Homo-oligomer: A and B are copies of this chain.
Amino acid sequence: MKSISIGLLGLGTVGTGVVKIIKNHQDQLMHQVGCPVEIKKILVQNVHKKRPVEIDPNILTSNADDILFDQDIDVVIEVMGGINATKDYLITALRQGKHVVTANKDLMALHGSELLTVASEYGCDLFYEASVGGGIPILRGLVDGLASDRITQLMGIVNGTTNYILTKMTNEGRSYDEVLKEAQELGFAEADPTSDVEGLDAARKMTILATLGFSMHIDLDDVQVRGISNVTEEDIKYGKKLGYTMKLIGYAHREGEKVEASVAPTFLSNNHPLASVQNEYNAVYVYGEAVGETMFYGPGAGSLPTASAVVSDLVAVIKNLRIGVNGKSAVTPQYPKRLKEDSEKYSKYFLRIHVQDEVGVFAEITTIFAKHGVSFEEILQLPIKKNETSEIVLVTHQASLTSYEQILQELYDLQAVKKVKSTYRVVRK
């Protein structure tokens, strides 16, 4: 029985996990795909470096061509990361008729469409389940499980670092800076955490999810992004008082033929299924017209969960290989891209402002909202002892983004408003 040969690009923690799973699950893999699976070559930077897993040194190479042009290699697994050079490798692999499994969300968010087109041209599979949500089989869930439905909403906690930070801030009442520092010491956050805390990582994943979920090609630039670095422990405390939990939410919504996508710190009502997702866990909430609410929960990262998703994709590729149907499973976007205008994006908002503690100020403020047709769900007015200042915390009913931005501008311009402390999107179940 012919065995399937794998070329592995990269041998970091995920790559090592892939090697371990394929080694330790050889019987199970045989049972699933009906033939042996063998890693034939591994691309590394330094072939002499000591590795935490036992590997025949003869299969290591520092020359990508040894894999990309090896006629015996059926499937290339890419777990090296990076964008431009990696993209070239994968395009070469596909043109050589090799199927590709990748865990690279940055690459897929930026060049997924192009890579999928090349794969389709050359009759190859290109699977990327591990690029979103680590071990959560969310992409298959979107493509297969909800195939018959019309998905109108996707909400995701898709970045473990920020969820860890917000969970600690919420449960322990600590500041962003303090928790971030601790997270860095514990290895839950990178030395340069920008891509995580400013929401870019989450935006990349939402690009991939929205493209699949809405069957419409969404670009990274279409996703409005705001990170968590300005979230304060006071904001979270006020939210708690009102029954909300703060999460960094990737939000994608379809109405009629138009969609919107964003990433922003968001207050979720405590009964929302995403509100109880804690620490470094990820979850994606999907609303379909027929199925209603579903949610997929699991570890969003980690070398073994990600490696497990990579091997699941590998199993799918090999099953397709054995029945000769590779390159047919990709679903090209059905709809042309149509984005909502700001005037078509509706949300509730939390707003916290400091105002002069004088007669008539509250009326001035509420008049601005009324003028734009926006009413309130909840209002809290609290005296602050110093400087004759009052704090006003309010939650609006639905407002269009256009109206809300005009309201904010008019509030800034109001003499009595000393400071707009913070504002967040609010999602209630």
Q: Which residues of B contact A135 (CB under 8 A)?
A: 288, 290-292, 294
What string of 1s and 0s marks CB contacts (under 8 Å) between A288-315 and chain B? 1011111111110010110111111011
A386 at the interface (CB under 8 A from B): no
Q: Tell me whether A292 and B273 are in contact in the complex, defined as CB-CB below 8 angstroms, given that A144-B312, A328-B323 are known contacts.
A: no
A331 at the interface (CB under 8 A from B): yes
Kindly provide the distance from the CB of A367 to the nearest chain B CB, expressed in whole angstroms. 40
Determine the interface band of chain A, counting residues with CB < 8 A from chain B: 35 or more
B293 x A298 contact (CB < 8 A): yes
What string of 1s and 0s marks CB contacts (under 8 Å) between A135-176 and chain B? 111001100111111100000000000000000000000000
Q: Tell me whether A21 and B137 are in contact in the complex, defined as CB-CB below 8 angstroms, given that A32-B331, A298-B293, A328-B323 are known contacts.
A: no
A315 x B137 contact (CB < 8 A): no
Q: Which residues of B contact A309 (CB under 8 A)?
A: 145, 291
Q: Tell me whether A307 and B323 are in contact in the complex, defined as CB-CB below 8 angstroms, given that A25-B148, A316-B147 are known contacts.
A: no
A334 at the interface (CB under 8 A from B): yes
Copies in the complex: 2
A290 x B307 contact (CB < 8 A): yes
Bound-state CA distance A58–B278 (Å) is 55
A148 x B298 contact (CB < 8 A): no
A146 x B308 contact (CB < 8 A): yes
A44 at the interface (CB under 8 A from B): no
B150 x A312 contact (CB < 8 A): no
Bound-state CA distance A273–B299 (Å) is 12
A302 x B298 contact (CB < 8 A): no
Q: Which residues of B contact A310 (CB under 8 A)?
A: 148
Q: Which residues of B contact A312 (CB under 8 A)?
A: 144-149
A7 at the interface (CB under 8 A from B): no
Most buried by B among A135, A136, A145: A145
Bound-state CA distance A311–B145 (Å) is 9
Q: Which residues of B contact A149 (CB under 8 A)?
A: 21, 25, 308, 311-312
B292 x A298 contact (CB < 8 A): yes
Q: Tell me whether A147 and B299 are in contact in the complex, defined as CB-CB below 8 angstroms, given that A290-B305, A323-B328 are known contacts.
A: no
Q: Which 6 A-B pairs have the closest CB atoms?
A: A137-B145, A148-B311, A294-B298, A135-B291, A290-B308, A295-B297
13 contacts between A and B (CB under 8 A): A28-B150, A31-B334, A32-B147, A140-B140, A144-B144, A146-B308, A148-B311, A149-B308, A292-B298, A292-B299, A292-B302, A295-B295, A323-B328
Give 19 new A-B contacts, CB below 8 A, not counting A137-B294, A140-B144: A31-B215, A32-B147, A135-B290, A137-B140, A140-B140, A140-B141, A147-B311, A147-B315, A147-B316, A148-B312, A149-B311, A281-B293, A290-B308, A291-B299, A292-B299, A295-B297, A296-B297, A297-B297, A323-B323
Interface residues of A (CB under 8 A from B): 17, 21, 25, 28-29, 31-32, 129, 135-137, 140-141, 144-150, 215, 271, 273, 276, 278, 281, 288, 290-299, 302, 304-305, 307-312, 314-316, 323, 325, 328, 331, 334
